Amino acid sequence: MTIYLQQLKQYCDNTFSYIEDYTFNGLQVEGKNEIKKIVFSVSLSELLIDEAIRRGADCIFVHHGFFGKSFTKIQGPLKRKLQKLLVNDISLFAYHLPLDAHPILGHNAQLCNMAQLQIIKPLECGFICGNALNLTLSQIAEHINEHIPSKYAISQSGSGPLLPTHQFNANIYKFGPEIPQKIFICSGGSGDYLDKAIREQCDLFVLGEPKEHLIQAAQEEQLNLILLGHWRSEQPGIWAVMNDVAEKLGVQAEYIEIENCV
Ligand SMILES: [Zn+2]
């Protein structure tokens, strides 16, 4: 089925609320008016654009699009990516923080459902969740893994107080109770939000990509960590939007997986 670019813009405007961000959210590059196929992926790259062209896509939807708010130097890889989009008349939509924070379709809401936890309230772009089923750390990681399995293996080397248990493609740092009761889920590069998890007296922080100091700081606060990986933790929202777009607009939608183990 063919839809119009304006319909997709309208869908996005209705779906995502405005959140102050360091990037433009929405239609970043305008392509052709008629859309037969949309491809979805986590991050914009030249690889992704090449694959979108190969698949005959009219539109690309990503979480990490062109970052920044001013393009004053269009050279090198940026020029090539823009040129490929414009020459092929492909639109680019990117939703960053509004997709993290969406209460149903967002990465964090989806992760919360996958883990079988219950949303209590939003915090930054993530959610504070409860654990009504009294799941253990391993069960939470396992539930998430059932929905986002990974082809890359994580192996443990050495042993020490700050090394994680690698289970279900997640790094589990058991610094607190085996059965956490108050969980902060925040996907992607959310390591800076450790203080917020502590202030909320959480006993588990589920995140994508940590900062170096996070591990010891969490240990000192007896806060459990489950590290999922940045890219891996930011697929669920893309899948949810893809399914929603296909269902509501009836347009062909495909996921392009460009795996990234960070
Ligand atoms: Zn991210």
Tell how far the Cα of 1 is from the centroid of ligand 1, in angstroms: 31
- Is 64 known to sit in a ligand binding site? yes
Tell how far the Cα of 225 is from the centroid of ligand 1, in angstroms: 18
Return the percentage of the chain with pLDDT > 90, whole number. Answer: 87
Give the pLDDT band of residue 69 (cuts 50, 70, 90). confident
**Residue 10, pLDDT score:** 98
**Residue 157, pLDDT score:** 61
CATH of 102-231, one of 3.30.70.100, 2.60.40.1760, 3.40.50.10860, 3.40.1390.30: 3.40.1390.30
Tell how far the Cα of 45 is from the centroid of ligand 1, in angstroms: 14
Dist. CA 65–CA 75, nearest whole Å: 17
Q: Is the pLDDT of residue 154 over 70?
A: no
pLDDT digits (tens, 9 = 90+) for 90-134: 999 999 999 999 999 999 999 999 999 999 999 999 999 999 999
pLDDT digits (tens, 9 = 90+) for 160-177: 888 888 888 899 999 999
Contact between 253 and 93 under an 8 Å Cβ cutoff? The reply is no
CATH of 3-95, one of 3.40.1160.10, 3.40.1390.30, 3.40.250.10, 3.30.460.10: 3.40.1390.30
State the average pLDDT over residues 8-37. 96
Tell how far the Cα of 154 is from the centroid of ligand 1, in angstroms: 20
Q: Is the pLDDT of residue 152 over 80?
A: no
- Is 96 known to sit in a ligand binding site? no
Q: Is the pLDDT of residue 153 over 70?
A: no
Domains 3-95 and 102-231 share a fold: yes
**Residue 70, pLDDT score:** 77
Tell how far the Cα of 121 is from the centroid of ligand 1, in angstroms: 21
- Mean of pLDDT over the chain: 94
How far, rounded to the nearest angstrom, does the alpha carbon of residue 163 sit from its chain's CA centroid?
A: 25
Collect contacts of 202-208 with beta carbons under 8 A, ≥24 apart.
202/128, 203/176, 203/177, 204/137, 204/140, 204/176, 204/180, 206/111, 206/115, 206/140, 206/144, 207/233, 208/232, 208/233, 208/234
**Residue 227, pLDDT score:** 95
Domain boundaries defined on the chain: 3-95, 102-231
Q: Is the pLDDT of residue 65 over 80?
A: yes
Dist. CA 108–CA 236, nearest whole Å: 8
**Residue 220, pLDDT score:** 97
pLDDT digits (tens, 9 = 90+) for 175-194: 999 999 999 999 999 999 99
Tell how far the Cα of 236 is from the centroid of ligand 1, in angstroms: 12
**Residue 223, pLDDT score:** 98
Reduce the secondary structure of 22-71 to three states and give it as a string.
CECCEEEECCCCEECEEEEEEECCHHHHHHHHHCCCCEEEEEECCCECCC
pLDDT digits (tens, 9 = 90+) for 197-245: 999 999 999 999 999 999 999 999 999 999 999 999 999 999 999 999 9
